[in-house]
Structure 1
């Protein structure tokens, strides 16, 4: 009996310590890079300040070096709020049943941010001031397969990409290190 009691006590302590789990169910991807040798490029955030005009065909091209495992997200800073970011593509409905849409295309070398819908040349000066002049776009590069195992363990989707703050939290991004580019 004296030999069994320490074994029972030890197994009880082991079971108790194993069952005490204080994990937070929100997944945070600390280092999702599937290629450990390529840890210097992602995740990356870059702000681009640009005025979209006829001289740049109402678009902006930002050169990048993307891997085939990268995802590009582009957000537009809402001029009405200093801290609100909206995922693009985003459509704005203007007076007279007109629509202006921000969109983007990317490949392994570049991201092109542009407008679609109504001809930007037909915008009023107030509309151009709101939707074309001094626009700030945030380009966020993250891993395409980040957090798959964490997402599989959770019933919730891994991250809502339309929610900028959720993306920052999920990928543990440091906003103080955002590179800003002032384009012409």
Structure 2
């Protein structure tokens, strides 16, 4: 999908770490072939309805995961707290939100959102999902009772489209999906 919308946040500073993440030498989305083919089918089905996908993260080198863990352990670095974890102490991020091993490093997990392209000018705008990507809070739970009905409908549209092609959602993060397939090894190849 050469024209899929990408906003690979970890290649730049607009992310919860606040700096480019180790291993992201380019803003590219890589996936193992079965995951890429399934994602292509999701994108094609959504386009027929006037929607598109925007990916935030795909394959993640294992060194990036280690960077996240080091950042989480540095309790002095609070520069992104207001935007990404305003209601949590940083010590609470390790575990449910930041794990020492990530399925992203297997090449079949990705983070994404929906764009609405049904406007008269054909511009595609992000749908309101209730939180932004990588917001550490129960408000980001896929079925959070604290979101509006419109936000719930948007999350459910994404969930239906992804599950129809074999992806499963991580319930704590509305944006996080993994293709239910074999369990390949973890990779630590930088993104170039």
Per the normalisation by structure 2, the TM-score is 0.23
Of the two, which has the highest radius of gyration? Answer: 1
Per the normalisation by structure 1, the TM-score is 0.24
Higher strand share: 1
